[in-house]
Amino acid sequence: MDIRNNWSKKEILGVYNKPLLELIFQAAEVHRRYNDSSEVQVSSLLSIKTGGCPEDCSYCPQAARYHTDVKVHRLMEVDEVLEKANNAKANGASRMCLGAAWREVRNNRDFDKVLEMVKGINAKGMEVCCTLGMLTDEQAKKLEEAGLYAYNHNLDTSEEHYDEIIGTRTYEDRLNTIKSVRKTNITVCSGGIIGMGESTEDRIGMLLTLANMDKHPESVPINALVAVEGTPLEEQPEVPIWDMVRMIAATRIVMPKTVVRLSAGRTQMTKEGQALCFMAGANSIFAGEKLLTTPNPDFDEDMNLFNTLGLKAREPFKDKKAKVEKKEKAEA
C-alpha cells in the first residue's frame, strides 16, 4: 500500500467502523510495515507562557475569559527553559515542546527570546517543537533559522464542528499557519481532540483534511479532552478508551508513516488501554508529570510501562540521520 492523499470520507469511515479487533490488527500491520514498532518517540512539554489567552477555545483552561485555576505567568526566561530541557534530556526525552498561550506570534522581544530558547535547546542535541499560535511566513522562516524541528498547530476538529468550539479564529486561519510552516523545512505537527461533543463524521472529517494534505503532517497528536472545571466543556463525559483506540488506528492506517501521538488524557486511561493504543499504531507520547497545565503520568511510570510492553524511547533526529545515511550510501 502506498502513502495516499486521495482518501474519501466514506473510505475513512469504513476504516474507523471496522470490527474493533480487525481494525487494531490492520493498523498494527500497517505500523509494522512502515515504522519500527518497538520505538516510541518521547516528548517533554513545557508551558513557557501560561494563561491569559485572548482566544475562546472552549476546551482550553488558558483562555482568559473562563474562570479556571490556571495562574497567568509571563514568558519564562531563556535560562530557566534551558534548565528544564536539561532535565527532560536526562530523563530520556528526545524532543522538547514549548507551548505559549498566545493567539499568534508578534514580532517583539518575547519572540526573540523564544528564538533564543530554540537555538539553545537545539544545541543540546534535542529536537525542538513550538506551539505558539498563528504564524506568518516570515516568522516561520525565523524559527527555521533558529533550528526549530517541528511546529504544532492543531486542526482540533472537523471544519463543520469547528465553529462550535472556537469563534475567535477560523479553520482557514489554521490551515494558513500550517501552509506557512510547510514553506520551510520545519516539520508539521497537527492533530486534534476527541470528546468535545463531535460526531464520528467530525472525527473522520478532521482525519480526511490531514490525510489529504499534499504532504501528511510528520506528526499527528490525538488528544482526549481533559475536561477542565471552568471551561465550557467541563461537563463533557470522559472519552471511552475504545474511541481513542479507533481514532489512533484510523490515523495510523490513513497516514502510515506519520508519528501518531497518544497525547492528552492518559491519566484517565488504564495501562491496558494505553497498550492497545500502542498496538493500534501510536508511537509517541508526552512524558513528564505535567502537560501544559494539567497532570500527566510520571516519567518513571511511563518507563515501567515501556519495559512491560517491550517498547523503547526513540533517539533524537533519527529521520534526519536516516536521510543523511541514505544519501551518503547513494553517493558512495
Q: Which stretch binds ligand SAM (CB under 6 A): 2-10, 30-38, 135-143, 223-231?
A: 223-231
63 contact, one of ligand DTB, ligand SF4, ligand SAM, none, CB 5-8 Å limit per kind: ligand SF4
Secondary structure element (H or E) that encloses residue 312, with its range: strand 312-313
Q: Tell me if 139 sits within 8 A of 104, measured CB to CB.
A: no
With binding defined as CB under 6 A, does residue 62 bind ligand SF4? yes
Q: Which of 93, 143, 226, 227 binds ligand DTB (CB under 6 A)?
A: 226
- Check if 189 is active-site: yes
User: In whole angstroms, what is the distance from residue 234 CA to residue 227 CA?
Assistant: 5
Q: Which of 60, 95, 203, 266 is catalytic?
A: 60
Q: Which of 95, 174, 261, 266 is catalytic?
A: 261
CB of 82 to ligand SAM, least distance (A): 21
Q: Which residue has the cell 499568534?
A: 104
| Residue with smaller CB distance to ligand SAM, 102 or 299 | 102
Contact assessment for residue 49 and residue 87, using Cβ atoms and an 8 Å cutoff: no
Q: Which residue stretches of the chain are H helix?
A: 9-16, 20-34, 78-90, 109-123, 137-146, 159-165, 171-182, 200-211, 241-254, 271-279, 299-309, 318-331
Mask: binding to ligand SAM, 18-57, rule CB under 6 A, as x and -? ----------------------------------------
Which stretch, 23-31, 118-126, 219-227, 270-278, contacts ligand SAM (CB under 6 A)? 219-227
What is the CB neighbour count within 10 angstroms for residue 311? 19
In the DSSP assignment, the letter for residue 93 is -
Closest to 131 (Cα-Cα) out of 189, 56, 186: 189
Residue 50 DSSP class? B
CA dist., res. 147 & res. 319, Å (int): 15
The three-class DSSP label of residue 49 is: strand
Provide the minimum distance between the beta carbon of 304 and ligand SAM in the complex, in angstroms, as a whole number. 24
Kindly report the length of the chain: 332
Interhelix angle 271-279/20-34, rounded to 10 degrees, is 60
Decide which of ligand DTB, ligand SAM, ligand SF4, none touches 281; Cβ closer than 5 to 8 Å per partner kind: none
CB of 52 to ligand SF4, least distance (A): 9
Options 5-13, 85-93, 99-107, 120-128: segment touching ligand SAM (CB under 6 A): 99-107
Select the span of 72-80, 90-98, 152-160, 277-285 touching ligand SAM (CB under 6 A): 152-160
Stretch that binds ligand SF4, among 55-63, 200-208, 272-280, 316-324 (CB under 6 A): 55-63
Note whether 325 and 317 are within 8 A (CB).
no
Q: Is 256 in the site for ligand DTB (CB under 6 A)?
A: no
What part of residues 289-308 is at the interface with ligand DTB (CB under 6 A)? 291-294
Stretch 184-203 residues interacting with ligand DTB (CB under 6 A): 191
From 97, 252, 277, 314, the catalytic residue: 97
- The contacts of residue 301 (CB under 8 Å, 6+ apart) are none
Burial 264-293, CB ≥16 within 10 A → b, else e: bbbebbeeebbbbbbbbbbbbbbbbeebbb
60 in active site: yes
Residues forming contacts to ligand SAM in the complex (CB under 6 A) are 59-60, 99, 101-102, 131, 133, 153-154, 156, 193, 223, 225-226, 228, 264, 292
